[in-house]
Chain A
Amino acid sequence: MSSTPKTINMIQAINLALDHAMEQDATVLALGEDIADKQGGGVFKCTAGLSAKYGTERVKSTPIAEQAIMGAAVGAALGGMRPVAEIMLMNFMTVGMDQLVNHAAKLRFMTGGQTHVPLTVRTATGAGFGTGGQHADYLESWFAHTAGMKVVAPSTPADAYGLMLSCIFDDDPCLFIENLPLYFVPGAPPVPGTRVPIGKAKVVREGRDVTVISYSRTMLEVNAVADELAKRDISVEVIDLRSISPLDMDTLRASVAKTRRAVVAHEAQVDFGVGAEIAARLQQDLFGQLLAPVGRVGAARSPVPFSKALEAAYLPTAERISAAILQTLA
């Protein structure tokens, strides 16, 4: 196909970003379980075709061994490469945590700047596929809480493309969070080579009554709610965070200073989550200007349930997001 497609999904966007990065820079590597074409090009096909194009030395399938994967990526990064490690699902990050949190995130500081770890870790998660309690957690706040790490969670294919390039060419370890349902949502194709800066949120919808801050898959619900509320003449400003850490407080403050009300919505559990950090900062910075406490919507404090009957009660559904918005307006 020679013409540019009208839409592209996130799998294709990530694949394109990896392809462009590997083409541009021979030090860019990819490693992870089953990522080479012989093993299927990744369980979600994000790396399909890359080993055929760049060879199995640069696009390397690994054993099912997250400590070994993460450690090899850290070491290769120290050795002058720009590895992109795929940890199939975010829950499996737990197996490789030591390498990421104790080493990748800290080595620049602990060596007094002698070393740095230009590592990108890609990982997918998200409820909705009936994978139950150990395959769908959102654990982004663990990593955002770790000094020395950057965390991004795009919601559109174009942002995924641009942030992937930024992460790969960033000189610090970046966690790139992908979402299973979002993989298949089409969006506008990226402009080839265009990077999205890490640490920059995007106002995706302007409004005057309340600011809703979200990221990753929950953006789908937030956008739908904003459409619904518009019909009732409630004007919602929607911010797609895109980067969780560093947090773009300038954009958040400017918006909330205008609307004077805010709700944070994410798929992770509410307790001790990203929403808590944002709420705290907004209330600290804009205490006198806020007309209502900052609302928070997220998952229930339980493991991700299997049963569909429990899922709606667990997830930050459109209804719950809508209710939280209305509460700030009450």
Chain B
Amino acid sequence: MTALTMTPLSETTTPSRETLLEIYRIATLIKQADDRFIELIKAGQIASPYYSPRGQELIPAAISVNLRPSDVVVTTYRGIHDQLAKGIPLEPFVAEFMGKATGTCKGKGGPMHITHVASGLPVTTGVVGSGLPIANGLAWAAQLKKTGQVTVCNFGDGATNIGAFHEALNLASLWKLPVVFVCQNNGYAEHTKFELGTSSRTIADRAVAYGMRGVEVDGNDAVAMWSAAKLAIDRARAGDGPTLLDAKTFRFRGHLLGDDSHYIGKDEMAQAMAADPLPRLRAWLIAEGHASDAALSDIERHNVEAFERAVQFGLDSPFPDTSELERDVLATEIAA
């Protein structure tokens, strides 16, 4: 694949230059955050299991530019890309990743469960497939309140084999809920290749069984992803019901940090790395005249500076007091 294979689209469905640069800004921020988190973990400055989204950055970046601040995003333990794309403030985000008292969840959620309600990130689940039924409920509340709010629910291809996925798709279609299900289909469920764990030809096909729109899209193509997300979000907002997006992507850094991806063929990995969506988008933006190399470098530098400030904030922050164990279990504090 080269930059020139980007899906051609008509004028009306092409993102503006500003939108493309915003997608690039978000996607590079995600990559930079991922690189930095891995450095910090390897240096022993953060102790946590970590599920890298490297390779999947364009999906949430292209979705988020179509969302309103009041829209909500449900994601999973592999979720920092979705959180950053939705605009989570960096300092409490990094502090939460480090388990600090200044984190968005006071250090009680951690990397697998980062949420930030003010940014529209109410649920980040560590249980495969569990976000979908909850996304329905958020969408149902919005439908009843007629707020026009859209719920986007992210999950991997592995989640489409668990019962919750099927129950949730059926209900969402039945109730015509304003929800967009985004399968970030990276081809591997933990260590199991797609076709060894999934009986259907595609994830999009599964929507057919529930009378829902199912759309295959190249999740590593910013323009195609933007376009598919826009249509799905617009439809949900207009009351036309849910969509299942089958966004094809790849996962470069294994299921869990430390996983050497031994179950992925060397050729397959090499081919995927060569088609890394980030450098591809960068080259395309320059080739199409959307931005100069210097302008993109500015975006990258700005990201790094902002993220480093957040890392420093996190490192300087205190850990939560042990009294926090009794707080937030119930509305009223529990006496031991």
Interface residues of A (CB under 8 A from B): 29, 57-58, 60, 62-63, 65, 67-68, 70-81, 83, 98-99, 102-103, 107-116, 147-148, 150, 170-172, 246
- In the bound complex, do residue A76 and residue B115 qualify as a contact, i.e. CB atoms below 8 Å apart? no
Stretch in B39-47, B130-138, B276-284 touching the partner: B130-138
Least Cβ–Cβ distance between A250 and chain B, in angstroms: 11
- In the bound complex, do residue B134 and residue A78 qualify as a contact, i.e. CB atoms below 8 Å apart? yes
Residue of B nearest to A80 (CB): B141
17 further A-B pairs in the complex, CB-CB below 8 A; given A111-B122, A113-B327: A68-B133, A68-B168, A71-B132, A71-B164, A72-B133, A72-B134, A75-B138, A78-B123, A80-B145, A98-B164, A99-B130, A110-B109, A111-B109, A111-B117, A114-B115, A115-B117, A170-B331
- In the bound complex, do residue B330 and residue A148 qualify as a contact, i.e. CB atoms below 8 Å apart? yes
Question: Given A99-B133, A115-B122, A116-B331, is A58 in contact with B144 using a C-beta cutoff of 8 Å?
Answer: yes
Stretch in B99-107, B247-255, B291-299 touching the partner: B99-107
B142 near A: Cβ within 8 Å?
Answer: yes
- In the bound complex, do residue A75 and residue B139 qualify as a contact, i.e. CB atoms below 8 Å apart? yes
Q: Is the interface of A mostly helix, strand, loop or mixed?
A: mixed
B268 near A: Cβ within 8 Å?
Answer: no
- In the bound complex, do residue A74 and residue B141 qualify as a contact, i.e. CB atoms below 8 Å apart? no
B137 contact set on A, CB distance < 8 A: 71-79, 83
Question: Given A77-B137, A79-B140, A111-B105, is A68 in contact with B167 using a C-beta cutoff of 8 Å?
Answer: yes
Least Cβ–Cβ distance between B127 and chain A, in angstroms: 5
- In the bound complex, do residue A71 and residue B141 qualify as a contact, i.e. CB atoms below 8 Å apart? no
A62 contact set on B, CB distance < 8 A: 171
CA distance A225 to B132 in the complex (A): 49
Question: Given A75-B134, A75-B135, is A112 in contact with B106 using a C-beta cutoff of 8 Å?
Answer: yes
Residue of B109, B130, B330 near A71 (CB, 8 A) is B130
Question: Given A113-B106, A114-B117, is A71 in contact with B144 using a C-beta cutoff of 8 Å?
Answer: no
B126 contact set on A, CB distance < 8 A: 102
Residue of A71, A80, A107 near B133 (CB, 8 A) is A71
A150 contact set on B, CB distance < 8 A: 330
CA distance A116 to B330 in the complex (A): 9
Residues 149-177 of chain B: 1 if any A CB is under 8 Å from the residue's CB, otherwise 0? 00100000000000110011011001100
- In the bound complex, do residue A68 and residue B115 qualify as a contact, i.e. CB atoms below 8 Å apart? no
B174 contact set on A, CB distance < 8 A: 63
B116 near A: Cβ within 8 Å?
Answer: yes
- In the bound complex, do residue A75 and residue B141 qualify as a contact, i.e. CB atoms below 8 Å apart? yes
Please tell me the number of chain B residues within 8 Å of chain A, measured between CB atoms: 45
Least Cβ–Cβ distance between A30 and chain B, in angstroms: 12
Interface residues of B (CB under 8 A from A): 103-109, 113, 115-117, 122-123, 125-127, 130, 132-142, 144-145, 151, 163-164, 167-168, 170-171, 174-175, 327-331, 334
Residue of B nearest to A245 (CB): B330
- In the bound complex, do residue A79 and residue B330 qualify as a contact, i.e. CB atoms below 8 Å apart? no
B123 contact set on A, CB distance < 8 A: 75, 78, 103, 107, 115
- In the bound complex, do residue A68 and residue B138 qualify as a contact, i.e. CB atoms below 8 Å apart? no
B138 contact set on A, CB distance < 8 A: 75-76, 78-79
- In the bound complex, do residue B329 and residue A148 qualify as a contact, i.e. CB atoms below 8 Å apart? yes
- 13 A-B pairs within 8 Å (CB atoms) are namely A63-B167, A63-B170, A68-B136, A68-B170, A71-B134, A71-B168, A72-B133, A75-B151, A78-B138, A79-B141, A81-B144, A103-B123, A111-B122
- In the bound complex, do residue B171 and residue A98 qualify as a contact, i.e. CB atoms below 8 Å apart? no
- In the bound complex, do residue B331 and residue A75 qualify as a contact, i.e. CB atoms below 8 Å apart? no
CA distance A275 to B334 in the complex (A): 21
A58 contact set on B, CB distance < 8 A: 144
Residue of B nearest to A149 (CB): B330
- In the bound complex, do residue A172 and residue B331 qualify as a contact, i.e. CB atoms below 8 Å apart? yes
Least Cβ–Cβ distance between A249 and chain B, in angstroms: 10
- In the bound complex, do residue A71 and residue B136 qualify as a contact, i.e. CB atoms below 8 Å apart? yes
Residue of B nearest to A68 (CB): B167
- In the bound complex, do residue B125 and residue A65 qualify as a contact, i.e. CB atoms below 8 Å apart? no
Residue of A57, A80, A98, A110 near B105 (CB, 8 A) is A110
CA distance A286 to B191 in the complex (A): 54
- In the bound complex, do residue A99 and residue B144 qualify as a contact, i.e. CB atoms below 8 Å apart? no
A111 contact set on B, CB distance < 8 A: 104-105, 108-109, 113, 115, 117, 122, 328
A29 contact set on B, CB distance < 8 A: 144
